[in-house]
């Protein structure tokens, strides 16, 4: 991510967790889906399906599986 995003962009990354709604939840769902972790419907709501897909992603990447998309998870998810 260092080569793709600037320092200011990385500083603005927020933690997205269950209950989140809107564009950030949809982007997270879409990114998980594209990485092979199906969150269910892409409905812009961080619910059980998104939480489960995120947990599997974090476990697969040997990260702390806290079911929250913070800086480390977002960095890993968009690293490709």
- Give this prediction's pTM: 0.87
- pLDDT of residue 14 exceeding 90, the answer is no
Domain 7-77 has CATH 1.10.101.10: yes
* Nearest partner of 74 among 27, 23, 7, judged by Cα: 27
- pLDDT digit string, tens, across residues 33-80: 999 999 999 999 999 999 999 999 999 999 999 999 999 999 999 885
Longest dimension (CA), the chain: 33
> In the block, which residue shows the tokens 């998810």?
77
Q: At what angle do helices 48-60 and 23-34 cross, to 10 degrees?
A: 50
- pLDDT of residue 2 exceeding 90, the answer is no
User: What are the structural domain ranges in the chain?
Assistant: 7-77
Q: What residues contact 63, with CB distance under 8 A and at least 6 apart?
A: 72, 73, 76
């Amino acid at each position: 991510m260092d080569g793709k995003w600037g320092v200011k962009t990385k500083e603005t990354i927020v933690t997205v967790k269950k209950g989140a709604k809107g564009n950030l939840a949809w982007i997270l769902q879409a990114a998980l889906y594209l990485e092979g972790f199906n969150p269910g419907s892409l409905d812009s709501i961080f619910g059980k399906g998104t939480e489960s897909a995120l947990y599997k992603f974090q476990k697969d990447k040997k990260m702390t599986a806290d079911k929250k998309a913070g800086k480390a998870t977002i960095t890993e998810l968009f690293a490709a």
